[in-house]
Structure formats: C-alpha cells, structure tokens
Structure 1
Amino acid sequence: MAKIVPDDVIYDVLGVPITVTNLQAAADRIHAWKGGQSRYVGCRDVASLMVMSETPDLREIAKNAAMNVPDGAPIALLGRIKGHNVSRTCGPDLMEKLLTDPAYHDLKHFFYGGKDGIAGVLSQTFAAKGAQIVGTHCPPFRPLTPTEDARVVAQIHNSGAEVVWVGISSPKQDIWIAEHLGHINATMIGVGAAFDFHSGAVERAPKWMQRAGLEWLFRLLQEPRRLWRRYLILAPKFVFRVLTTGTRAA
C-alpha cells in the first residue's frame, strides 16, 4: 500500500505518527479535502495507540493515515511537551464540529457502523441541525462476504458521500478503512464510541471532566467490566513505555 501521509508536522508516539493539530484545524482540513480522493483519518486514544504500537500490521495502517489526530489528552500532552502547538482532537468532538457547524454544511456524510437503529438516529439528529446525510449502513457482527462488501461500497459510492464516519470500534474500524482505501472515494474517519454518544445510547462525561482529562474515569465507572483492562492495564503500560522509550519528532 502506498503511503499517503502528507507533509505535516507530526510527532512520534511509540511508533505511531500523530499530527500536530487542533479541533478547528482538523475540521478545516477535512473540509478542504472535499472531493473524490480516498483518505483515512485515525482518532488515536491511548488504548488504540497501544494496540497499534504493539502490532506491526496495525502500526503500518496508522502510518498510512492522512491524519492521526490526538484523541486522548495524554497524547496531546506529549506533543506539547515536545514543543508543538497541539490540543486534544477527539473523535466525538470532530464529528460534532463537522456535522453541526454551518461552515461545513456543504459536506455530504455517510454513517457506517453502530448497533441496529443507531445510524438512523444519528441521521435524524444531525440532519435536523443542517448536515447533509446521504446514507447509513449497519453491518452485521461478522465479516461481510465479498458480495455484501461490494454492495456496501456501491451504496457509499452512489450516495455521493464525501465523509464516511466509521463506528465499529478500534482496531476493527481501522482495518476496515485500510481495506477500503482506494475503493471508497471519500475521507473515512474512525470514531468508535462517537456513534453511541451522539445517538444518546451512551452518556458522555460532563464537560468539566472532559476538560480536566477525566473522561476515561467517567467511562470506566459506566462500563467497568468492559473497560477495566483499557484504563487499568493499558493506560499504566502506556505511561511506562513512554517514560522508558520517550517520543521523537517525526
């Protein structure tokens, strides 16, 4: 696969290139990409970055993204420590920005993923705020057959979508996007839990917890059985690896 990483200012976190950006700049860039080229934007939190850093195939996927935005507060903090003007740019906020800000209402959006009915709720919610929603698809909880996959690609192509939001959790969403680079002529963005947050299926942390970098704690208290390993094992491991290996300018 040919690399499509642009000549951005980036910094390395455990082998994963992170783009120096912020919410406004990332949204502006995606809007400027309006057109038919196939691109991938990854939203990198601590958990997904750890998995990618330890898996060569996934790390290569991250390296072929047009942008890897710093979804997690610790990842943005590492960039600032390196002297970069970077701030947290998480998937749910990026999604809300691009779908609700009138400056971006000329973009056409497609929702791929979520549990049954979630994409439909998202479509109604954001269409009511002025966004152009041109299609949705909720895939089954199994790999698609080649025929099914071809139908999905055709559906997205025929919709005229310019941004495809993919919410099937990481790293599955990253693998799906990588497999469809060059086949879906749109900017594909993996946003995971953003589908649940914006549909109201899952409550998001209060703003003050988000600003304080405590959104992880709110999510852990919500779903301890599912998320305990992410926040109590992977997060401390991330800190240890960063302290022992450091980061470098890319």
Structure 2
Amino acid sequence: MLPKRRIISMNVTKATYEQVVKDIMECAAIKESSYVCVANVHMLLETYYSRDFRQIVNNANIVTPDGMPIAKSFKMLYGVQQQRIDGMSLLPRLLAESTKAGTSVYFYGGSQKMLDITANFLKDKYPALRVAGMYSPPFRELNADEKLEIAKNINDSGANMVFVVLGCPKQETWMSQMKGKISAVMIGVGGALPVLVGLQERAPKWMQDNSLEWSFRLMQEPNRLFKRYFKTNSHFLFLLTREKLKKKFKF
C-alpha cells in the first residue's frame, strides 16, 4: 500500500504520478475491491466538518492530491515535494493504460446524455478500449436492493475498473458502500469526465501550474462558485496555517 500523510483532517497518498497509476492498474488487473478518492480543498473541508465522511475518505486505498493547494501542503507541513495528481489528467491516462492492458472499464453516474456523449467520445479516441457498461442511476437515494442489483450488474459485466461520476461527497460515499461488493477498483472522477468529453472547458496549463485553475472555473460559473470558493479557500488557508504553527511550536 502506498504511504499517506495527514493534511489537516485527511490522509493523502504520498507517491509519484507513475506510482499511483501503477497501483491502480495492478488493483484492476486482479479485480481488487478498492477505491480511489481524487481530493481537492472542497473534499478536505468535507472531511474536516464530518467525522463520517472523514472515515470514508481516510479508508480509501488511494487519496490523490487533485488540487495544487493539497499537493503544496506536503512541502509546508512536512518539507517534502509532492506531485499534483489530478482527476482531469488521471482519467485519460487510465483509459490509455486500460486500452493497452485490455482492462475492462465501466462508467457509473452522470446523466444519460453525458454517458451517450462519452460512448461516442470513447469510440473515436479509444476504439480498442473494452467498455463493460455505463449506467446513469436515478437522481435519488437508492434502497438496499437497488444497490445490490447495481453491484451484481457491474460484477456480471466483467469490469476491472469503475469510473464513478456522482460528485463529492456522493461518489466517495457510494464507493465506500460498494467496497467488498464490487470486484473492481473504483475511481471517483467527478467533474473530470465532462471536461474530457468536451462538455466543459479546462483552464490553460499555465493556470493549472500556478494554482489558478479554481479562478478559471469561477469565471465560468461565478454565481454558483463564488461563495463556495471564498469560504473553502479562506478556511483552508486558516487551517493549514494553524497546522503549520502547531507543528512548529509543538502545541
């Protein structure tokens, strides 16, 4: 198992991009029931506020530092470098690796329209990829029988890898519930899929490299994201500074 470091309230995997890809592909090859959380500041604060959600994320096999602020926190708290391992880069890489390895993939979540667009995108960009199935679940809480039926359908499809597109915290909660029931590695990719298939635009690379991707998204959806970013980013900076002071003065 790859090592982790505690960033405020969340245990984040300390590894290179290549190590994470290798570990995920190895889990897929043996159909190990496991799950991967792709963590940004929003997810970290969800773990800070909710003990139940903190347990869900910290029990994940891998928690990647999706946002640059999470990756840079390793340097501030532990004096070590950590690559950003973001979902928008990880998703296409895993699709490419799965194509080469003959790994079967499944897509769970998102609207039927998005999945239809995804199916056409994959046929064009990854024609040799083995797609075991796609399913858009109802927009409501599923009962126990429905969850068991979904797990059975995914297992029967032969999928090695399940990309979960429900958004935080729903996808992490779902993966946690399905660990031990679905014989595949599950990865919560959230908003990475609509960007990959062209439904949303991604920030330019210079903004990604300078921790400004959030501002690009803010410009795209100011009404929805302004309050969330102002609250989460300022609170994260406060908590990170406090954590650094605690380590420095040992209190």
TM-score (structure 1 length as normaliser): 0.90
User: How many angstroms apart in 1 are the aligned matches of 2:119 and 2:167?
Assistant: 19
How far apart are the structure 1 equivalents of 2:13 and 2:224?
A: 29
Q: Which residue is 2:43 aligned to?
A: 48
Q: Give the corresponding residue for 2:106.
A: 110
**C-alpha distance in 1 between matches for 2:58 and 2:232:** 21
8 Å contact from structure 1 (residues 100, 126) kept in 2:
no
* 1:76 partnered with 2:71: yes
Please tell me whether the aligned partners of residues 99 and 129 of structure 2 are also in contact (alpha carbons under 8 angstroms). no
**More helix per residue: 1 or 2?**
2
Contact 1:41 1:190 in 2 (8 A): yes
Tell me the secondary structure at the aligned position of residue 214 of structure 2. Answer: helix
The question of 1:219 aligning with 2:214 is answered no
TM-aligned CA deviation for residue 181 of structure 1: 0.8
Cα shift readout 1:28-65 (whole Å, capped 9, x = no counterpart):
11111121221010011001111112210000011111
Structure 1 residues not aligned, in runs of 5+: 1-5
Distance in structure 1 (CA, Å) of the matches to 2:57 and 2:145: 27
1:94 Cα deviation after fit: 0.7
Q: Is contact 1:31–1:104 with CA below 8 Å preserved after alignment?
A: no
CA contact (8 A) 1:43 1:69 kept: yes
Match of 1:181 in 2: 179
Task: For residue 47 of structure 1, give the secondary structure of its aligned residue in structure 2.
Answer: helix
**What aligned pairs does 1:12-91 form with structure 2 within 5 A after superposition?**
12-33=6-27, 34-81=29-76, 82-91=78-87
The alpha carbon displacement at 1:178 in A equals: 0.8
- The answer to whether the Cα contact below 8 Å between 1:36 and 1:162 also exists between their aligned partners in 2 is yes
SS of 2:112's equivalent in the other structure is coil
Distance 1:123 1:84 in 2: 40
Counterpart amino acid of residue 107 in structure 1: T
Q: Which runs of 4+ in 1 moved over 6 A?
A: none
CA contact (8 A) 1:39 1:181 kept: yes
- TM-score, with length taken from structure 2: 0.90
Cα deviation code 1:41-100 (max 9, x no counterpart): 001100111111221000001111101000010111111332334200011211110102
Deviation of 1:13 (Å): 0.8
Identity of aligned residues (%): 32
SS in 2 for 1:110: strand
Question: Could you say if the C-alpha distance between residues 13 and 174 of structure 1 is closer, same or farther in structure 2, counting changes exceeding 3 Å?
Answer: same
Aligned residues: 242
Question: Which residue is equivalent to 2:150?
Answer: 152
Hey, what's the Cα distance between the residues in 2 that align with 1:97 and 1:143? Answer: 31
Shift of 1:111: 0.5
Pick one of 168, 171, 195 that aligns with 2:169.
171
Q: Is the 1:23–1:93 contact (alpha carbons within 8 Å) kept by the matching residues of 2?
A: no
Once the two structures are TM-superposed, the CA of residue 199 in structure 1 deviates from its matched residue by 2.0
CA contact under 8 A between 1:166 and 1:190: conserved in structure 2? yes
Which stretch shows the higher mean deviation, 81-90 or 46-55?
81-90
| Cα shift at 1:104 | 4.4
Q: Which residue of 179, 189, 194 maps to 2:192?
A: 194
RMSD: 1.8
Task: Give, in angstroms, the shift of residue 194 of structure 1.
Answer: 1.0
Q: Does 1:10 align with 2:4?
A: yes
- Distance (Å, rounded) in 2 between the aligned partners of 1:120 and 1:215: 27
Moved more, 49-58 or 21-30: 21-30
Q: Which amino acid aligns with 1:112?
A: Y
Equivalent residues of 2:48, 2:54 under 8 A apart:
yes
